[in-house]
Structure 1
Amino acid sequence: MEYDGIEFFNENKDIENDQFNRYLLHKYIKKLYMDNGANENEAEQATEELIIKFKDNLFGVNGLASMIGELSIPFFCSYFLQDTFVPKPDNVARELAPVHYMIWDTLENMINKDLYDKLELIMPRGTAKSTVVNFALSVYLHCYRKSIYTLVCGKTDQDSTEFIVQTRQAFEENPYIIKAFGKLIDSKNYTVNKNELELANRTKIQAISSTTSMRGKKYNGNRPSCIIADDYQSKADCVTEEARQKKYDTWTQDSEFAGDKAVYRHGKKIRSGTKFIVLGTIVHTSCFMSRLLKNKEYKHILRRACDFDVDEYFHSGLWEDFRKLYFNNKLQDSVSEAKEFYYQHEKEMQYKTIWQDKYSCLEEAISYYNNPTAWKQEMMNDASKIGTKWFASIKTLPYKSNECKDDIISHNVVKMMLCVDPASTDTKRSDSFAFLVGSVSDNGFKYIHKGELIKFDARTQFDEYLGHIIELLKIYKQITHVFIEKNTFNGSDANQLEKLIEQDAELSGRDIAIINESQRKNKDDKIASCVSAVNNGAIIFNEDDTDFIDEVKSFCGQNFSLHDDAPDCVSEFYNRIDNIEIIQPLRFLHLPKGLKF
């Protein structure tokens, strides 16, 4: 294996004599000396002398490695947790990035140097912040008994359980920890369950969900020494201004009473206060993490996936050429052609990310193109576009052109469906009944042949509403599936429509499937799935449907839009059309005379 550019060929199971272990120990001892003012020659000599002094106990109980591990969190993680953080032939670990070592240095300043008590760490999704902080720090704190009681707050109970499983495994199975600290798990005498670990050194790690209060929790009379909140806010905590304020208030009020303040005697600190660490990403401009950024009691670290203007970068040069190929509806397989273009220019199209060994330039760019707002929120911690219009551009074509130019009707229809979103009320502010006739072409692009918003009184115009569906089925003869949202009429409209089709001389001979399902998914999440396809011209609208198009253009999130029928209907069409199956009719062939099976 290779580490720091050095190849380690042996995989010695003898911890004391392993070449890699000795290299790590030497590297971090020398670094400690140099951090304390020694020059390189002085540090090298002092390191060699210390290793000789401890030559009979480098990695055992009270050995040199355990001493250096207490002084250096980066060494502790690199050596004691090497199977998690160091790439080896028998694991799938990734090469760590500079940001991970920066995090460990920050934690060392917080825990060992006691420079601050509260830390907010805002990182992109997928940067292993839970493993680098929650897992690594908890193991470190309890190996050295630096925390008597650690409380970890995950988003859900499942997150809490998974954290405890991973942490327990480190204490029970990690040979480097067992050799230096002994068996710290004693399930016969101490509590070990899915949400807490009581260790043999009389310390405890407990994991709770974000909905559980931290107040009043103690272990052997001790309040938590360290409280870690990881992805503390859920989507439900960010939907409304009231929910966002409540989440922030809950944390500040709970944390105020959950920990201990520092103890001073004669002006000297004799005990540190509880350490609070909050990890997460920015979800909204006024979400919990955003509000905490303004709290002066916290040290704040915010990192983004890329240190450049992604909007400008991904819409210029070779990446702009890639985007145009990716969303070119005239190509038979635009995705494959765009990727082939990338591979031909791969070297020139590379860019620096926060974790080079994790993030693929191609995959991240495609994610950005498919949903720029969501990507910037999760990867750039940029929620500035939330509350602004989602659909920046809409490609339109005439339904039928008398001139020799592109139109909707000329494209080959592979399959066609009708999506219906009935409105539940009939007030002036109420939603309209939305109707969308859409198809997918053999080039993979989707076409909206008809998009309508019609006001029906749900109580008195039920028959007129169903009659309009029948009319659309007769106009667009290639419709094979009708999707009707179930929430308004609870299935009665779908049942009545099926009867009307059976009774109609023209429609009864067609094989029309009716899909009637309730919608429980968050509407913003559902609509977000089609935003990039619309903005990049992968969904093409009928230019005559101005009301329908205008409502799509005006959408800026469920909480910031008067109506959402049109974009909601577009998202249903976009997410369903590819999954519907067309059953081809059986064809009977006449066998040649005299031929039998």
Structure 2
Amino acid sequence: MYYFDNLEFSNEENLDIYLIFKYWNKHYDVKLNMNDSKAIENVLANKKDIAKELGRIDIGFFAFYYLNVDFIPSDNNDLRSLDKVHLEIFEELNRMFVKDEVDKEEFILPRGLGKSTVINKLLAAWCHCYRYSRYTVVIGKREDDAIGFIDATKEFLKLKKVTSTFGILVNRAEDRIVNKQELELTNNSKIYAVGSGTSIRGTTYACDDGVFRPMIILVDDFINENDILTDDAKEKIIKKYNDEILETGDKAVYRKGKKTKAATKFLVIGTPLAADDFINAIKKDAEFKVFHRSVVNFNPDKYFLENEYWQRFKKILMNTKDDNRVKNAENFYYDNIEKMFFNTIWNDKYRPWELASTYFTKRLSFMKELMCDCEKVGEIWIKYMAKMDIKEILDRKFDKTILSIDQASTNTRKSDSTAFTVLSNSNGFYFVRKGLLEKFDSKTEFDKYINRTIQILKEYKEITHIVLEKNVYKAVDATRIEEEIAKDKELRFRNIKVITIYNTKNKDARIMTITDKINSGQIIFNEEDKEYNDQVKEFRGQHFTLHDDAIDSLEMAVNNIDEIKVYKKSTMIFLKRNLL
């Protein structure tokens, strides 16, 4: 028995007829009626030719018809029925390959969606059955992934339906290269699968028909946790893709205004691991179309927090005194399913109570791997921010005032702002009198940065100390600021001290020292500084936060203001000698 479209088919031939009628009516104006016995007779008489043509114009049909053992549930397998999202993926592939409307596309999808099978293995089989691609390169993170891909593709191409229509494509006997990484087919086309550490610069495939550059380059799960540990690691992966992989492709050929050869197709498939990792860098590349789906289409933080039933579920799940808490939580869900059920991207795969368990116990993994959302991926550090109107802030006597600056070292995605924090303390509270984020090019606008600093010193006359990171400019900016202060008639008598700090301590550890002060309301923010305040609130840890300039500057200010010493100017009174 086969199960498709909520129908049951007693044998493969009945399923085949249904698929042919369904996809014929999708693509052709002349419709076929399944109740018409003559139409069925004609389809059966020309089944192979009709199916081959439908497979050429619809990758979804090719999957269901030729590869049904891997795409359609039956009594002989344990497959799940595909969901709407999989059909949407097939349509994206049709737009890219059949219609040639897209040259570069990224698929950002949750773990467990079957994306490697539904996209790259299916695509490799389709492209090489129809010789759409003469040379396909697939790049995975590890060589083992590449070997697994080649093995799976070989099995697809050896299926009886495929060989009966397209011939024997995998045959070592014909002096074809067939090994763990290379699959040369009898129709003079080749699939090459490698790990990310292998260079593909200049790779080509030579056969009797000529020499071919890659027509498809597919990158699948290109990164792992090691690739997001540092900014250098992230940039290395992005640079490899931009400088090597993209350059390996070929551009389209036009003759008399008509395209005679398609450009190399680039596909990136994966799940993001950090806000500025490779997957999110490609997402922001205007040349790439992006197909991005999450496991649910609502905000899980808001939904699970506000739903009383899920909060009760959480209480049961987190009861460490109950050895059966997981099963009891599951039972609670099914007892209250009408109040707790929600749709997922693949209802046959992702069950609500299992997703909720992952969310409550491993929120970080849930947000990254299932929501594909690294903007909210880290744990929430800042849960409360006290804010005041600037007039209310100024209505008090301050003990000390400090200016701290987190300099932008580069103009990249991560470090794109210089953050200024004017901080004063009073009666045990810290007041951010001004929080600024300004963009300066570190190479061409150094003077602009220095001048802005001087301007802030003049505006806030109580500032006695400036704190700077030494890491960025090696204290060159500190020297320049001191020189500008000494030259300025207004500033040179204020005895402003410039302190440089070489930060070697882990950033998360440093910022963690001020989070309690923020959450408790001990640090009070100027409500006018919306951009600065929002950036502070969005901090989720250095690996999962795109912009951390504001909170970096704030940490330096808070952790140094108590250490500085301010000497009050004494007033000297001169008396005439005869009064003594």
**TM-score, normalised relative to structure 2:** 0.63
1:50-449 → structure 2 map (5 Å cutoff): 55-59=44-48, 63-172=49-158, 174-189=159-174, 190-220=176-206, 221-315=211-305, 316-329=307-320, 331=322, 333-385=324-376
Question: Structure 1, residues 322-363: CA drift from partner, whole Å, max 9, x if none?
Answer: 111222356564434323322311343211100011112111
Do 1:196 and 1:205's aligned partners in 2 also have CA atoms closer than 8 Å? yes
Say if 1:23 and 1:336 are closer, same or farther in 2 by CA, change over 3 A. Answer: closer
1:186-206 deviation digits (Å, cap 9, x = unpaired)? 111211101111000000011
Structure 2: distance between partners of 1:385 and 1:195: 38
Contact 1:390–1:557, Cα closer than 8 Å, also in 2: no
User: Which letter does structure 2 place at the counterpart of 1:372?
Assistant: R
CA gap 1:232/1:122 in 2 versus in 1, 3 angstroms: same
| Offset at residue 392 of structure 1 (A) | 7.8
Q: Which amino acid aligns with 1:183?
A: I
Q: Retained in 1: the 8 A contact 2:283–2:290?
A: yes
For residue 80 of structure 2, give the secondary structure of its aligned residue in structure 1: coil
1:5 corresponds to = 6
Aligned residue pairs total: 385
8 A Cα contact 1:97 1:355, kept in partner: yes
Q: In structure 1, what is the Cα distance between the partners aligned to 2:382 and 2:74?
A: 46
What is the aligned partner in structure 2 of residue 29 from structure 1?
A: 24
CA RMSD for the aligned pairs?
A: 2.6
Maintained 8 Å contact 1:240/1:559: no
Offset, 1:306: 0.2
* Pairwise CA distance, 1:234: 2.0
CA distance in 1, matches of 2:270, 2:287: 18
Deviations 1:339-395 (A, max 9, x none): 3322311343211100011112111111111111221111011112456656989xx
Q: Secondary structure of the residue that 1:197 maps to in structure 2? A: strand
Distance 1:558 1:262, change over 3 A: closer
| Contact kept in structure 2, 1:26 and 1:47, CA below 8 Å | no
Q: Is the 8 A contact 1:29 1:47 kept in 2?
A: no
Contact 2:128–2:134 (Cα < 8 Å) also in 1: yes
| Cα distance change on mapping 1:271 and 1:317 into 2, 3 Å | same
C-alpha distance 390-157 of structure 1, shift in aligned 2 (>3 A): farther
SS of residue in 2 equivalent to 1:324: helix
Distance 1:70 1:168 in 2: 20
Report the Cα offset of residue 557 of structure 1: 6.2
Deviation at 1:67, TM superposition (A): 1.2
Deviation for aligned residue 1:269: 1.1
3-state SS in 2 of match to 1:188: helix
Tell me how far apart the structure 1 counterparts of residues 378 and 165 of structure 2 sit (CA, whole Å). Answer: 54
After superposition, the Cα gap between the structure-2 partners of 1:103 and 1:333, relative to the gap in structure 1 and judged at 3 Å, is closer
> Whole-Å Cα distance in 2 between the matches of residues 385 and 268 of structure 1?
46
Local SS of the residue matching 1:204: strand
Q: Secondary structure at the match of 1:205?
A: strand
| Change in 2 beyond 3 A, CA 1:187/1:332 | closer
Structure 1, unpaired ranges of 5+ = 13-17, 394-523, 525-553, 562-597
SS in 2 for 1:278: strand
- Report the alpha carbon displacement of residue 301 of structure 1 after superposing the two structures with TM: 1.1
Residues 23 and 344 from structure 1, CA distance in 2 versus in 1: closer, same or farther, beyond 3 angstroms?
same
SS of alignment partner, residue 273 of structure 1: coil
1:412 aligns to what?
none
TM-score for both structures, normalised by structure 1: 0.61
User: In structure 2, the residue corresponding to 1:206 is in which secondary structure?
Assistant: strand
Match of 2:31 among 38, 43, 56: 43
**SS of residue matched to 2:113:** coil
The one-letter amino acid paired with 1:219 is: Y
- The CA deviation at 1:55 is 4.0
Task: Tell me the amino acid that sits aligned with residue 75 of structure 2.
Answer: P
Q: What's the CA shift for 1:245? A: 1.3
Q: Name 1:513's counterpart in structure 2.
A: none
Aligned to 1:19: 14
Counterpart Cα distance in 1 of 2:318 and 2:33: 62
Residue correspondence of structure 1 range 579-594 to structure 2 within 5 A: none
Distance 1:65 1:245, change over 3 A: same
- Return the alpha-carbon distance in structure 2 between the equivalents of residues 201 and 122 of structure 1: 33
Give the conservation status (yes or no) of the 8 Å contact 1:387–1:556: yes
What letter corresponds to residue 24 of structure 1 in structure 2? L
Alpha-carbon distance in structure 2 between the residues aligned to 1:187 and 1:47: 46
Cα distance in 1, alignment partners of residues 322 and 7 from structure 2:
48
CA contact (8 A) 2:224 2:273 kept: no
Contact 2:377/2:544, CA 8 A, preserved across alignment: no
Q: Which ranges of structure 2 fall in alignment gaps of 5 or more residues?
A: 385-507, 509-538, 549-580
CA distance, structure 1, for counterparts of residue 542 and residue 247 of structure 2 = 36
Question: Amino acid of the residue matched to residue 197 of structure 1?
Answer: L
How far the C-alpha of 1:47 sits from its partner, in A, is 12
Separation in structure 2 between the aligned mates of residue 24 and residue 57 of structure 1, nearest angstrom: 14
Question: Which whole-Å CA distance do the structure 2 matches of 1:47 and 1:224 have between them?
Answer: 46
Q: Choose between structure 1 and 2: higher helix proportion.
A: 2
Identity %: 36
Kept in 2, the 8 Å contact 1:78–1:85? The answer is yes
CA-CA distance at 1:214 after TM superposition: 2.0
8 Å CA contact 1:51, 1:58 repeated in 2: no
Describe the shift of the 1:559–1:108 C-alpha distance in structure 2 as closer, same or farther (beyond 3 A): closer
Shift of the 372–329 alpha-carbon distance from structure 1 to 2, 3 Å rule, reads same
For residues 216-252 of structure 1, the C-alpha deviation after alignment (integer angstroms, 9 at most, x for no partner) is 1100111011011000112211111111111111101
Partner letter of residue 269 of structure 2? Answer: L
Q: 1:342 to 1:54 in 2, by over 3 A?
A: closer
Following TM superposition, by how much is the alpha carbon of 1:105 offset from its aligned partner in structure 2, in angstroms? 0.6
Q: Hey, what does 2:444 align to over in structure 1?
A: none
- CA gap of 1:175–1:317, structure 2 versus 1, over 3 A, is same
Greater Cα offset, 381-390 or 192-201: 381-390
CA deviation string 1:160-211 (max 9, x = no partner): 0001011111222x11101111111111121110111100000001101111
Give the Cα separation in 1 of the matches to 2:331 and 2:47: 53
Q: Work out the CA distance in 2 between the residues paired with 1:205 and 1:234.
A: 24
For 1:239, the aligned partner's letter is L
Shift in alpha-carbon separation, 1:212–1:89, aligned structure 2, 3 A: same
Cα shift readout 1:34-71 (whole Å, capped 9, x = no counterpart): xxxx3xxx423699788655643412xxx211111101
User: Residues 185, 267 of structure 1: CA spacing in aligned structure 2 closer, same or farther, 3 A cutoff?
Assistant: same
2:327 and 2:99 map into 1 onto residues whose CA distance is 53
Letter in 1 for 2:45: D
Question: Partners in 2 of 1:25 and 1:66 — Cα distance?
Answer: 10
* Secondary structure of 1:227's aligned partner: strand
| Cα distance in structure 1, aligned partners of 2:35 and 2:55 | 15
Q: Quote the Cα distance in structure 2 between the aligned partners of 1:240 and 1:248.
A: 13
